[in-house]
Amino acid sequence: MATVDLKDVCKVYAGGVEAVKGVSIAIPDKALCVLVGPSGCGKSTLLRMIAGLETISAGSCAIDGKVVNTIGPTERDIAMVFQNYALYPHMKVYDNMAYGLRNRGTPKDEIDARVRSTAKTLELEHLLERRPRELSGGQRQRVAMGRAIVRNPKVFLFDEPLSNLDAKLRGQMRVEIKNLQRSLGVTSVYVTHDQLEAMTLADILVVMNAGLVEQSGSPLDIYEKPASTFVASFIGAPPMNLLPLRSGHLEGAVTLPPVPASASTLGFRPEDCEIRTEGADAVADGALRLLVEVEGVEPVGAESFVYCRVGGERMVVRVPGRVEIKPGDQLRTYARQEKLHFFGSDGKRV
Amino acid sequence: MAEPEKLPPASGHDKLMIGQSSAGIYLAHVVLTLGVLIVAFPIYYTFVASTHSLQTILRPPLPLLPGERFFENYSEALFGGVGRIGGVSVATLLVNTTIVALGIAIGKIIISILSAYAIVFFRFPGRMFFFWLIFITLMLPVEVRILPTYKVMVDLGLIDTYAGLIVPLIASATATLLFRQFFLTIPGELVEAARVDGAGPWRFFKDILLPLSRTNIAALFVILFIYGWTQYLWPLLVTNRNDMNTIVIALKKMISFADADTEWHLVMVTSMLAILPPILVVVLMQRWFVRGLIETEK
């Protein structure tokens, strides 16, 4: 139904603080774009600029091919789900959902039909006469979603909508949001600081840092080929192991595959590192072999995280199942050559 | 004179604080009963006096039980007219005072809620300047600016009018600050949600801000109504005609230096009638009043 195009969008606040420093993102129709980054990276500001709640200092924002820089939030035909839900506390659920339609002069029976069908989709029918304070967190979240959906807008904007829910509910709502977004086919922009949420929801993932886009693309591409050490350490839990190279050498390495000349950091994912057991077959040629000392083990059930020290650096190995490893053990670990990532001194991928 | 009694603390609290011992509860009741007696007795005595003839009142001691002249005294005061204030009836005074008190309370609420709305939710040049300007007027109560205000009222020809009684008292920095503090607690997301939902400034005010402020408005109304009802100095200055007096001023005029010259039975009736409306307002709005003071509903 609509595309969203951001071109060199900047935000400079009155005090001279630059929150967003030239961001360009093209979101195709029906796609769910997730903006992820640490707090203060400008992701929320960017979302609020798309919503029209913040002015755009430079650059342009177009919705459905039409530049909307000077248009207010109402005329942009967007709907937003807020972190704290922002339900009108004095209105019943029904009126919360109907309010936006009433303000647009929608006929009464159409409002009623739309509110009721949306409530049905979200299983809110039995709550329509309640007030927000009589609802649980998850129910409020649903009402906030309903308020957005009922308007049938061109674009959905989500501002960390799940961060106030407990972990279990968050997982459920995540799936639900994804399904809803897909079935409604509405272009969406979703802001979160939770990389798991970002990975699972996104069609397009945009990793932001310090007001700039670090990398954008499909979640798996970003996971497989992080463009910088920032992305490598931000996406993935536990994050990628990053070990410093000193003029082509790695402290604690038994063998080191050929290193690109400009590389200053070597990285590999915790699950790409294996522990070599006694008597196993020889490791493939060109693999990185490390001799590490175990600092601690975290069994989480289906897998275990082994925290180790190599040279002076910390790293973590992800092992399926449970392991008989104690702190203080010496281990031989290896990672295949194709699973290694190299980054230059500026943090960019080599 | 027309001071409303202090409300007793909300029910249930005394038990919680003193505990369950019967001696404690007994003591609490004794103290409360004494308090009520001390506060209520003068009012009761005034009521007793208002039901006796002038002769009975002037011949002490005054009986402790109500007399038989309840209907005569009250109807004489309400509809007959009182000699010492030019034959104006107390009914007229009640109407005047009601208009003034309502005008002040409602006017103050409207003006202060609108100015607080502007100061909190709009970004305009000089916003902080205007905020401080309002704030500074706290230091200028009516008594301080009485001469210039009086001159303005004379020039505008507003002596002996309701406008003259109401308008100079209508701007209120206190109420503006109170609303400002309340508005500042309204989450920004709520404002933004309303903007996204297509509510312009007026709709936001009407549909969201007003309903959320209703307990604050109620609490303020009670306070301001009583403030308006008990105004003394300004009505004294700005009214010359007896039929434009408020009840408090008329009460003062009804009392002469010479005891025999004062229609004490009518003074007592007027006193009773003067405290009745504020008490009614407090009693009827008590629930809202307390909620407005303690509850922040968001």
Q: What is the ipTM of this complex?
A: 0.82
Closest-CA residue of B relative to A159 is: B189
Amino acid sitting at position B32:
L
Say if residue B22's pLDDT is above 60.
Answer: yes
Residue B102 or B21, more confident: B102
Confidence band for A322, pLDDT divided at 50, 70 and 90: confident
> What pLDDT is attached to residue A261?
84
Distance, CA of A127 to CA of A119 (rounded, Å): 9
Closest-CA residue of B relative to A150 is: B197
> What pLDDT is attached to residue B110?
94
Distance, CA of B236 to CA of B224 (rounded, Å): 19
Q: Note whether A86 contacts B207, CB cutoff 8 Å.
A: no
Q: Write out pLDDT tens, residues A24-42.
A: 999 999 999 999 999 889 9
Residues of A in contact with B202 (CB under 8 A): none
Tokens of A41: 């990276």
Of the partner residues A82, A86, A90, the one whose CB lies closest to the CB of residue B211: A90
Domains of chain A: 4-229 (3.40.50.300), 239-343 (2.40.50.140)
Of the partner residues A48, A83, A103, the one whose CB lies closest to the CB of residue B197: A103
Residue B215 C-alpha, separation from nearest chain A C-alpha, in angstroms = 12
> What pLDDT is attached to residue A115?
93
Task: Give the distance, in angstroms, between the CA of residue B62 and the centroid of all CA atoms in the same chain.
Answer: 31
Tokens of B214: 């209703």
Say if residue B7's pLDDT is above 60.
Answer: no
Residues of A in contact with B196 (CB under 8 A): 51, 53, 73-74, 78-80, 100
Residues of A in contact with B207 (CB under 8 A): 88, 99
Residues of B in contact with A79 (CB under 8 A): 196
> What pLDDT is attached to residue B191?
92
Average pLDDT rounded to a whole number, residues B267-281? 90
Confidence band for B37, pLDDT divided at 50, 70 and 90: very high
Mutation target for A interface from B128, B197, B213: give the one with most A CBs within 10 A: B197
Helix, strand, coil: what percent of chain B each, to 5?
A: 70, 0, 25
Q: Write out pLDDT tens, residues B143-154.
A: 888 899 899 999
**Does the CB of A55 have a partner CB in chain B at under 8 Å?**
no
Average pLDDT rounded to a whole number, residues B61-67? 80
Mutation target for B interface from A71, A80, A101: give the one with most B CBs within 10 A: A80
Distance, CA of A63 to CA of A186 (rounded, Å): 12
Residue A21 C-alpha, separation from nearest chain B C-alpha, in angstroms = 24
Dihedral over Cα of B29, B31, B34, B40: its sign: negative
Closest-CA residue of A relative to B188 is: A86
**Distances in Å between the alpha carbon of A135 and those of A121, A142, A175, B295?**
18, 10, 21, 19
| Bridge partners for A156 per DSSP | A79, A188
Q: Note whether B193 contacts A89, CB cutoff 8 Å.
A: no
A73 three-class SS: coil
Q: Note whether A99 contacts B207, CB cutoff 8 Å.
A: yes
**Does the CB of A100 have a partner CB in chain B at under 8 Å?**
yes
Residue B296 or A225, more confident: A225
User: What's the mean per-residue pLDDT of chain A?
Assistant: 89
Say if residue A143's pLDDT is above 60.
Answer: yes
DSSP state of B209: I
User: How large is the greatest C-alpha to C-alpha distance in chain A, in angstroms?
Assistant: 77
Q: Write out pLDDT tens, residues B217-265.
A: 988 899 999 999 998 889 988 888 888 888 888 888 888 766 667 788 8
A20 three-class SS: strand
Q: Above pLDDT 90, what percent of chain A?
A: 51
Q: Say how many CB pairs under 8 Å bridge A and B.
A: 59
Mutation target for B interface from A75, A92, A99: give the one with most B CBs within 10 A: A99
Of the partner residues A74, A89, A90, the one whose CB lies closest to the CB of residue B198: A74
Residues of A in contact with B215 (CB under 8 A): none
Residue B193 C-alpha, separation from nearest chain A C-alpha, in angstroms = 6
Residues of B in contact with A82 (CB under 8 A): 189, 192-193
Distance, CA of A52 to CA of A49 (rounded, Å): 5
Q: Above pLDDT 70, what percent of chain A?
A: 97
Residue B86 or A24, more confident: A24
Task: Give the distance, in angstroms, between the CA of residue B290 and the centroid of all CA atoms in the same chain.
Answer: 16
Say if residue B78's pLDDT is above 50.
Answer: yes
> What pLDDT is attached to residue B168?
87
Say if residue B160's pLDDT is above 70.
Answer: yes
pTM of the model: 0.79
Residue A73 C-alpha, separation from nearest chain B C-alpha, in angstroms = 5
> What pLDDT is attached to residue B2?
42
Residue B71 makes CB contacts below 8 A (sequence gap 6+) with none
Say if residue B19's pLDDT is above 80.
Answer: no
Q: Note whether B193 contacts A88, CB cutoff 8 Å.
A: yes
Least confident of A229-233, A331-335, B79-83, B192-196: B79-83
**Does the CB of B197 have a partner CB in chain A at under 8 Å?**
yes
Residue ranges of A 103-162 with Cβ closer than 8 A to chain B: 103-104, 147
> What pLDDT is attached to residue A282?
61
Residue ranges of B 138-177 with Cβ closer than 8 A to chain A: none
Say if residue A245's pLDDT is above 70.
Answer: yes
Q: Write out pLDDT tens, residues A82-133.
A: 998 899 999 999 999 999 999 988 899 999 999 999 999 888 899 999 999 8
Closest-CA residue of A relative to B212 is: A90
> What pLDDT is attached to residue A278?
63
Confidence band for A279, pLDDT divided at 50, 70 and 90: low
Confidence band for B166, pLDDT divided at 50, 70 and 90: very high
Confidence band for B88, pLDDT divided at 50, 70 and 90: confident
Q: Write out pLDDT tens, residues A71-83.
A: 988 888 899 999 9
Q: Write out pLDDT tens, residues A163-173.
A: 888 888 888 88
**Does the CB of A81 have a partner CB in chain B at under 8 Å?**
no
Closest CA to B109 of B4, B235, B210: B210
Residues of B in contact with A72 (CB under 8 A): 195
> What pLDDT is attached to residue B16?
54
Least confident of A94-103, A158-167, B76-85: B76-85
A160 three-class SS: coil
Contact B270, B77 (CB under 8 A): yes
Confidence band for B295, pLDDT divided at 50, 70 and 90: low
Neighbours of A107 (CB within 10 A): 9
> What pLDDT is attached to residue B4?
46
